Structure 1
Amino acid sequence: MNIRQLKHFLAVIDLGSLAAAAEMVHLSQPALSRSLRALEDALRVPLFDRQDRRLRPTPYALAYVERARRMVFDENEGARSLALMRDGELGSLAFGMGSSIAKFLLAPLMLEMLARAPGLRMSAMVQSTDVLHAALLKEQLDFFIGDVRIAQHDPDMVTEALYPCTFGWFARAGHPLAASGDIAMARLSAYPLISAGYADETVERRIADLYGLTMPISQHFALSTSDLSTVHALLASSDAVTPSTAIAVIDPLKAGVVVPLDVTPPLDLDLTLGIIHRAGRTLAPASSRAFEFIRASFANADAEISRLDGRRAAPGLAPTRGKRATRPRR
């Protein structure tokens, strides 16, 4: 038994197809089959039932799969640690973040890393937290920035909570509802509603309960998109309204293009953004620099949103009705 055979085994488990697994590990299907049979011989148990040209994992395979993942992870981690020691600031860094923060964070982070570690090779994934979490488990990412709740009880993950989000409903400055108070959903829904980014079922049900909406929540929105540039453009040039974190619309808020609406009840949701990475994984030296920049970026965004909240609380200006959670101790 060797690590190569374990990688072949995991490829078949993850992809559910001999053909797809063979393509991923760059082997012919007969060669992959021989590798799997050699592993079965070494373990002295059948790992797959071969039926109708498909490989179905046996109970032995399902019991063994997490141990196999751990052995492959440890092998990769050993090689990675040596490579990082050898390369210093060279090497690679793969990270991810949600679309709600990529708009204000991704480009500045990459520029910072290019300036401080020009030999670094970077890749970035912009996706929902569940997709980023799955990619981290498969070692496709070194870390990601997302909702820390997805991993805070997982002993194999390290989470650093950075930013409990403020929520609200937003529209363009000069919107017919901008000067109104205590706006009910009946008035709000007279305008096109935009669903921006990914929302899990818990969030959708909370919104439905708050505003008396039926599930699925998507039926009440004229548009759903995770592209924040499109959301910002639509808000600025139409009477569309969107529920959002304040940080996702921080640039048009600062520019005065977008304003919060005084909706009743307030959009009371729970979302804390932070850094998530695997426990026991040796991070590239550049990761610590990236973490410093991410922490500072969230602190600056928090200060800016607090300043905007204070400005809106001045006489004659509508207050923010979204939830502002208690900030974590740093």
Structure 2
Amino acid sequence: MNKQSAMSAKTRIWTPINYAAEGKQSDCLRLPHSTDLSAYGWIPIPLVCIKNGSGPTALLIAGNHGDEYEGQVALSSLARATQAHEVSGRLIIIPALNYPAVEAGRRVSPLDEGNLNRVFPGAALGTPTQMIAHYVSEVLIPMADLVVDLHSGGRSLDYIASALVRPGRTAQEHQRLLGLLKLFGAPISFISDGTGGGGLTTLAAAAEARGALALTTELGGGATLSQNGLELALSGLRRVLSDLGILRGISVEPAPPTRLMTVSGYDAFVYARERGIFEPAAKVGDEVTKGQLAARIHFPDDPTREPQTLYFGSSGIVACRRVPSLTQRGDCLFKLMADVGPRLDHSQALHA
């Protein structure tokens, strides 16, 4: 079987949940995984489906990376709190999508070292991580009008609380995505095509390719749980779901203004050039200018050697910064964002 036919083959993942059934269902996806001690075994991926009548479908995902916790807690809280009579349409909630990575507290899966947000659209007959991506791409996203993928910085990055979208493929789609950003109400909202990250291999790119609106977040980092990030996830989701009419009869706080920014090109990134100890010269949220000192890399194995100095290649705001001090050549140390317009509030979003 060639690669293309493997990608398009029928999924091997199954679930007892009936996505078309009315009411609230809680079970799991079954990811087949054969091991020495479990020949016909499967791995559970927790899933909640809440459906009530006709209306749009929202696919809400966290745990795409296992060491990012705000989204996992937010979606679990939402799944517990939401009853079928409060929904018009359908909510599909997956708080721990890459469950093997979630269980291990790792960015990537311990089963195959797969980075789930770098293998979309996946493969039906591939590795466990590829099978998860394929199921999301070919089964779940086609049901969805909106896809929200909640991320944080994980072990390696500290991130400013933010929401992001890919550039829309048409002017109309782009305006709808900007409206989502302003409605979600993160302090910072940015537009990125994935340069320096996942590009076309992310869940958001898979959603875009299948015609669903996709919103991603960065809610904290350092593999800790940010209370501010958790609160933003919950309040932002409630606003978006209420605006779509999926959640009804709930009170939501108006969205605060968001600063609209963009990440453009490799000059927005600073990378380590050698192995050593990373000494940052800027913090997350700092405004920096092109040519400004970004970092020094120290070499304790050669104490008489001068530290290597690194400089920002463009001006902007520090979106994220590396957390571990020990760094290798090629590690991302900083990512910058630049303004694309003034701060906009929710009332302006309604006319976007």
TM-score normalised by the chain length of structure 1: 0.29
More strand by share: 2
More helix by share: 1
Larger-Rg structure: 1
